[in-house]
């Protein structure tokens, strides 16, 4: 009997591995690719240096008024001077600690969900997350908990975008779940009402909903009722979000294997026990990437509130741009700054969503 000795591995030929090959493979693999590479490089070479120069090198960083912007580049002085307004709106300066406290709590809750173990996450992080917007509303309003009352007229800036989006998704969560259940229901009337609700709030432009909220809602309430503008917006955003999330949950329900329902039935659980204990956790798990994607959409759409006169961040920016002391045409700087803030938030959420999706993909195979 011969002993089998594998041939020794030989190094791959030089023209198939190594950095030179990598460059050739990725940039110059064919004539077309070479042309494309050169064109793109030329484009980058003409665009990037002036852009960097404008953004950083020749930019104006220090000062408090427009007159400080003496150099050719971007006038970041504008953004710095208005940054308090961008983030906090016109909330009273001596009360800003309240917003900061809310932000700290939000960071704390998010951190706790990452740091705690599963048991504590369920016991603390999730309830805390669900309660946070309401706690924040109490703190920001102040009058309920013995602090000085701050009218919603002064709420604004990026903090308001975050607050509205968070408060809406949390109410929308149970609501959309019920709608999704209704849509799956075998009771014809409940089913058709659910479908109508879902399709209505998905099918109508969100701007039309805001107009309904500001023009039509007052007509619906008895005379003399005065509902706060932000509350009306909150209702509209919640319903809008619920319509989209109900569809996400419907997909989630379909993704839960029938075997799970059968297993729950065979244990003798009641409908609600089965739905809340067995199905809901699984539905939320598989729906998580899409819930996050929907939340990103909602979050971006909070800027639409500018149109009905809510002082969210974009509307603050517009105010700053038309301020008589800052009429030097700083719109690019202003929009760029807001864009970067939104981009960081939305991009990180979409990354998280993608990583959850990858995890689900591997854990659900077979």
CA-nearest of 242, 243, 259, 256 to 287 is 256
Dist. CA 312–CA 88, nearest whole Å: 9
In angstroms, give the least distance from the CB of 84 to another protein.
20
Q: Which of residues 335-354 bind another protein (CB under 8 A)?
A: 335, 338-339, 342-343, 346-347, 350
Dist. CA 34–CA 31, nearest whole Å: 5
Exactly one of 56, 131, 208, 227 binds another protein (CB under 8 A); that residue is 208
Residue 208: both structure tokens together: 């039309």
66 contacts: CB under 8 Å, gap ≥ 6: 75, 77, 78, 325, 326, 327, 328
Exactly one of 19, 146, 222, 309 binds another protein (CB under 8 A); that residue is 222
Measure CA 239 to chain center. Answer: 17
Exactly one of 118, 119, 186, 366 binds another protein (CB under 8 A); that residue is 186
- Output 4 or 149, the one with its CB closest to another protein: 4
**Tokens 């259940």 found at:** 181
With contacts defined by CB under 8 A, name the span among 20-28, 78-86, 118-126, 128-136 that binds another protein: 20-28
**Tokens 């030097």 found at:** 328
Q: Is 309 in the site for another protein (CB under 8 A)?
A: no
Exactly one of 83, 90, 318, 323 binds another protein (CB under 8 A); that residue is 318
- Output 198 or 321, the one with its CB closest to another protein: 321
* Residue 315 buriedness (CB in 10 A; 0-12 / 13-18 / 19+): buried
Dist. CA 59–CA 357, nearest whole Å: 41
Give contact residues for another protein (rule: CB under 8 A): 1-4, 6-7, 9-13, 16-17, 25-27, 29-30, 33, 36-37, 40-41, 186-190, 193, 203-208, 211-212, 215-216, 218-223, 296, 300-301, 303-304, 306-307, 314, 318, 321, 329, 331-332, 335, 338-339, 342-343, 346-347, 350
């Amino acid at each position: 009997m011969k002993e089998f000795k594998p041939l020794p591995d030989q190094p791959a030929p030089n023209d198939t591995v190594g950095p030179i090959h990598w460059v050739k493979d990725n940039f110059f693999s064919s004539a077309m690719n070479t042309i494309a590479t050169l064109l793109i490089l030329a484009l980058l070479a003409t665009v990037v240096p002036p852009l960097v120069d404008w953004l950083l090198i020749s930019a104006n960083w220090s000062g408090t008024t427009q007159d400080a912007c003496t150099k050719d580049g971007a006038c970041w002085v504008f953004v710095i001077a208005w940054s308090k307004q961008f983030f906090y709106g016109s909330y009273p300066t001596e009360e800003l600690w309240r917003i900061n406290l809310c932000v700290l709590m939000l960071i704390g809750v998010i951190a706790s969900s990452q740091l705690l173990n599963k048991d504590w996450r369920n016991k603390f992080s999730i309830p805390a997350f669900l309660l946070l917007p309401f706690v924040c509303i109490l703190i920001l309003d102040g009058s309920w908990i013995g602090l000085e009352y701050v009218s919603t007229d002064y709420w604004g800036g990026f903090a308001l975008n975050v607050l509205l989006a968070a408060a809406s998704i949390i109410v929308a969560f149970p609501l959309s779940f019920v709608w999704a259940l209704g849509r799956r229901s075998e009771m014809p009337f409940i089913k058709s009402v659910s479908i109508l609700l879902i399709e209505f709030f998905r099918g109508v432009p969100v701007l039309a909903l805001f107009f309904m909220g500001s023009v039509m809602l007052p007509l619906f309430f008895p005379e003399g009722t005065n509902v706060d503008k932000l509350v009306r917006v909150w209702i509209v955003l919640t319903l809008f979000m619920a319509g989209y999330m109900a569809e996400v949950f419907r997909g989630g329900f379909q993704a839960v294997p029938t075997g799970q329902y059968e297993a729950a039935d065979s244990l003798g659980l009641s409908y609600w026990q089965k739905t809340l204990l067995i199905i809901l956790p699984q539905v939320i798990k598989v729906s998580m990437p899409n819930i996050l994607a929907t939340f990103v959409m909602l979050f971006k759409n909070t800027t639409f509130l500018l149109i009905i006169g809510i002082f969210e961040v974009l509307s603050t920016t517009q105010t700053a741009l038309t301020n008589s002391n800052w009429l030097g045409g700083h719109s690019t700087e202003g929009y760029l700054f807001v864009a970067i803030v939104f981009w960081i938030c939305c991009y990180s959420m979409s990354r998280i969503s993608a990583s959850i999706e990858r995890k689900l993909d591997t854990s659900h195979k077979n």
